[in-house]
Amino acid sequence: MAQQNVKLALIDLSGTLHVDDQPTEGAVDALKRLRQHGVKVKFVTNTTKESVGSLFARLRKIGFELEREEIYGSLAAAAEYVRKNKLNPYYLLTDDARTDMPPDDPTRPKDSVVVGLAPERFCYEHLNEAFRVLRQKSDNSNVQLVAIHEGRYYKAKDGIALGPGCFVKGLEYSTGVSAVCIGKPNEYFFRSALPDGVAVEDCVMIGDDPIDDCQGAMRVGMKGYLVETGKYQPEMYTEENRPAVSGIFATFGDVVQHIIANGQ
Ligand SMILES: [Mg+2]
């Protein structure tokens, strides 16, 4: 029996365990096997399109066994950031995601912009409003552009789809304000996802994004395992330029198999 090293697996959701309302192949059973093997799990997600409550309900509905408290999202981390810094932001978020954030303060002008994945908000009218909030305060060092994450693209039901990153970069370009990035691959995000007493070397990160999931986690000392489901596009890689990660596996189930067989 291999020595048990891994104590905690940080697991990405979209593209790794599911794509929209479809679990990835074998993921529901593989998650059960990982738990039975004694590995604790935490679901770390940059998903900003829906609130934690909606995400939790959806994952349960498609067959995953999990507790709401096991989901650690960049949306919650961003809400904490807004509270701590006493910001009164203009939000480029979906209505659902907005419910996870602090309420507006109508007595104060907007002093910041918070951007998540919000397809219905990414039109000229709303982006221009965000631009004006950032520009009108450009003489004020307190103005903040908060990117919940800067994802380039993600996997949707009908193919790959544009992430919020290019809208964040566009606002940076036009306003000269540099964004504060909250979610993966930010080091702070990975460290704050760990419960007390768990060391980074006892953790692995499993995800479908080589940069935001795997390399982000590897920078803080975890192993980063890439799955070839979700946004993975084999045609983007050759044998020579495959992503520099700790391991590449066809599915989440294959990573679980590897952890059970090798302990890490
Ligand atoms: Mg993903």
**Residue 59, domain member (yes or no):** no
* Burial zone of 123 (CB within 10 Å; 0-12 exposed, 13-18 middle, 19+ buried): exposed
Cβ-based neighbours of 64, under 8 Å, separated by 6 or more = 17, 18, 23, 27, 28, 31
Amino acid at 56: F
- Look at residue 62 in the predicted model and tell me its pLDDT: 96
Could you give the 3-state DSSP secondary structure of residue 56? helix
Q: Are 34 and 9 in contact (CB under 8 A)?
A: yes
CA 136 to ligand 1 centroid distance, Å:
35
The predicted structure's pLDDT at residue 1 = 46
Task: Say how many Å lie between the CA of residue 44 and the centre of ligand 1.
Answer: 9
Ligand 1 centroid to Cα of residue 221, in Å, is 20
Q: Which two tokens stand for residue 31?
A: 């998650």
- Residue where a domain terminates, one of 181, 198, 223: 181
C-alpha separations of 232 from 153, 155, 229, 236 in Å: 11, 9, 6, 9
Instruction: Give the model's pLDDT for residue 188.
Output: 80
> Is the backbone peptide bond immediately before 243 cis, with ω within 30 degrees of 0?
no
95 and 175 both lie in a single domain: yes
Q: How far is the CA of 215 from the centre of ligand 1 (A)?
A: 13
Structural domain harbouring 129: 86-181
Tell me how far the alpha carbon of residue 208 lies from the centroid of ligand 1, in angstroms.
5
**Cα of 74 to ligand 1 centre, how many Å?**
13
Last residue of a domain, one of 181, 215, 234: 181
Q: Give the three-state DSSP class for 52.
A: helix
**Domain assignment present for 3:** no
Amino acid at 15: G
**What's the total number of domains in the chain?**
2
Residues lining ion ligand 1 (Cβ < 5 A) are 12, 14-15, 208
Of 228, 183, 180, 195, the residue nearest 15 (C-alpha): 228
Q: And the tokens for 219?
A: 């920078």
Shared domain check, 98 and 39: no
CA of 138 to the centre of ligand 1 (A): 34
Q: Which residues contact residue 171 at a Cβ distance below 8 angstroms, ignoring those fewer than 6 apart?
A: 113, 115, 127, 130, 131, 134, 145, 177, 179
Query: Within a domain: residue 14?
Result: yes
What CATH number is attached to the domain comprising 227? 3.40.50.1000
CA of 1 to the centre of ligand 1 (A): 32
Closest listed residue to residue 43, CA positions, set 24, 77, 67, 23: 67
Centroid of ligand 1 to alpha carbon of 50 (angstroms)? 14
Residue 93's pLDDT is what? 96
In the chain, what are the helix, strand and coil shares in percent, each to the nearest 5? Answer: 40, 20, 40
Report if pTM > 0.75: yes
pLDDT in tens, the chain (264 residues): 445 589 999 999 999 999 989 999 999 999 999 999 999 999 999 888 788 899 999 999 999 999 999 999 988 889 989 999 999 999 999 999 999 899 999 999 999 999 999 999 999 999 999 999 999 855 556 799 999 988 898 888 888 999 999 999 999 999 999 999 999 998 888 988 888 889 999 999 999 999 999 999 999 999 999 999 998 877 888 878 888 999 999 999 999 999 999 988
Cα of 233 to ligand 1 centre, how many Å?
13
Ligand 1 geometric centre to CA of 36 (Å): 24
> What's the start-to-end Cα distance of the chain, in Å?
13
Co-location of 36 and 97 in the same domain:
no
Are 177 and 90 members of one domain? yes
